[in-house]
Amino acid sequence: MDEASPGGSVTRVSTSERLLRCTGDGMDMSACVDAERDGPFGSLVDPPALSIDEIGAAVTAEAERTIAGIRSECFVVEGGPFGAIHTVEWCYSADGLLLFLNDTVEGGRVVTAEATEVSRLVSDGDFELAPA
């Protein structure tokens, strides 16, 4: 995932062994540092396996939900020590689109994202930034 701002660009590199945050142009690994997985949007872009492995519990299926007019299948994983239970719930459309995520650590962070409108057609203009 690439992030760009007036101050430069950042690339997040996720492998099976680590998550890196790299700055600068190209993929100069000397410009990479271990990324904090629990950043504000980490659970939105990281593969669910990272959360599942971190929590160390089995994933269970939840009731189907309709989100943004689309039927979705939901899954939850929960575990951890008393007072710091970590719960993550995902809901996906039949074709794999993430429609809902709730990542909560008891007494700590809460990240929730839910689709309110879905369009499967995207034009190049949707990715153009407004002039500064």
Q: How many domains does the chain have?
A: 2
pLDDT value, residue 2: 47
Average pLDDT over the chain, rounded to whole? 79
Average confidence (pLDDT) over 33-46: 66
> In the structure encoding, which two tokens stand for residue 2, read together?
């690439």
Listed as own residue / partner, the contacts of 6-13 with beta carbons closer than 8 Å and 24 or more positions apart are: 12/45
For residues 30 and 54, state if they share a domain: no
Alpha-carbon distance of 55 to 101, in angstroms, equals 16
For residues 68 and 100, state if they share a domain: yes
Q: Is the pLDDT of residue 110 over 70?
A: yes
The pLDDT tens digits for 64-74 are: 999 999 999 99
The answer to whether residue 114 is domain-embedded is yes
pLDDT band at residue 92 using 50, 70 and 90 as cut-offs: very high
List the domain range (segments joined by +) for residue 12.
1-35
% of the chain surpassing 90 pLDDT: 32
For residues 59 and 27, state if they share a domain: no
For residues 69 and 94, state if they share a domain: yes
Alpha-carbon distance of 49 to 109, in angstroms, equals 19
For residues 53 and 97, state if they share a domain: yes
The answer to whether residue 13 is domain-embedded is yes
DSSP 60-126: EE---EEETTEEEEEEEEEE-STT--EEEEEEEETT--EEEEEEEETTS-EEEEE-S---S---GGG
> In the structure encoding, which two tokens stand for residue 112, read together?
């929730």
